[in-house]
């Protein structure tokens, strides 16, 4: 019987926003397979807690604290990871933010906060990682986009814009780096049931609207996203680049 994903053991995998939510589940998925996982985030306490969980599976995992809306900190994350492990094999651009406001109330600061983290930081993290990946003629960049890249929704003008741009960025980088062996793809989740969305779902009307738009039963779980990321990072996806996999329970199928 074929043992899938064994090729990921010993690989260097960076997961931005890896201390909680989807990012934490993605990081744990790779650590359980023996990958050297680097997680980043702004909350040092949460980073240390998650790192402790990762190191139960691989003691080589590390955490790097930093605000990725600061491009110098983005570059520090990538370069420090490469310095420690000697290579970067997989970059998962997961860190993101949403400021849910009606379009008429969005300020310039709100817009910049969302676009700087969701799009600008992803480009410069990818650029920094690609410096190493292009030299080794191999690498995977996986961006966590959103179904909101394909559909509109209330109070998400900046968020939809950032994720739509991220899907196009994924294609552009895939086209440019394909011949050098660097594959660039994305995963587009729907609303995920995590501690981060729990507060949103306290609004019964909002939760009902979300559930009515998802064709499958229930809400998506972090492991649903981790599975798609794992596929794109593995040899099973060797001939896939420039693609965005929607993990939305059928939301965008209608």
CA-nearest of 11, 6, 37 to 24 is 37
53 class by beta-carbon count within 10 Å (0-12 exposed, 13-18 middle, 19+ buried): middle
132 is catalytic: no
Helix (H), strand (E) at residue 126: helix 121-136
Tokens linked to 14 = 């960076």
Buried-exposed string 172-208: b where 16+ CB fall within 10 A, e elsewhere: ebbeebeeeebbbbbbbbbbbebeebeeeeeeeeeee
Query: Across the chain, which distance is largest between two alpha carbons, in Å?
Result: 57
**What 3-state DSSP class applies to 244?**
strand
β pairing state of 139-144 and 62-65: unpaired
Nearest-angstrom CA–CA distance, 139 and 141:
7
Tokens linked to 17 = 């926003």
Query: One of 4, 132, 153, 159 is an active-site residue; which one?
Result: 159
Which residues are designated catalytic? 159
């Amino acid at each position: 019987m074929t043992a899938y994903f064994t090729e990921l053991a010993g690989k260097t995998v960076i997961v931005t926003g890896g201390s909680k939510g989807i990012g934490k589940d993605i990081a744990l998925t790779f650590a359980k397979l023996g990958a050297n996982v680097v997680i980043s985030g702004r909350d040092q306490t949460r980073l240390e807690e998650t790192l402790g969980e990762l190191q139960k599976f691989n003691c080589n995992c590390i955490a790097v604290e930093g605000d990725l809306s600061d491009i110098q900190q983005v570059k520090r994350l990538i370069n420090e990871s490469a310095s420690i492990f000697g290579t970067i094999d997989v970059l998962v651009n997961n860190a993101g933010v949403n400021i849910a406001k009606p379009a008429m109330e969005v300020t310039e600061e709100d817009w910049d906060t969302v676009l700087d983290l969701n799009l600008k930081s992803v480009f410069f993290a990818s650029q920094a990682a690609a410096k190493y990946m292009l030299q080794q003629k191999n690498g995977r960049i996986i961006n966590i986009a959103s179904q909101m890249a394909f559909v509109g929704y209330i109070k998400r003008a900046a968020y939809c814009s950032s994720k739509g741009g991220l899907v196009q960025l994924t294609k552009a980088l895939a086209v440019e780096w394909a011949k050098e062996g660097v594959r660039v793809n994305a995963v587009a989740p729907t609303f995920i049931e995590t501690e981060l969305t729990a507060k949103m779902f306290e609004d019964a009307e909002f939760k009902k609207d979300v559930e009515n738009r998802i064709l499958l039963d229930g809400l998506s779980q972090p492991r649903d996203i981790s599975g798609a990321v794992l596929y794109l990072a593995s040899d099973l996806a060797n001939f896939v680049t420039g693609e965005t996999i929607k993990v939305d329970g059928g939301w965008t199928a209608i």
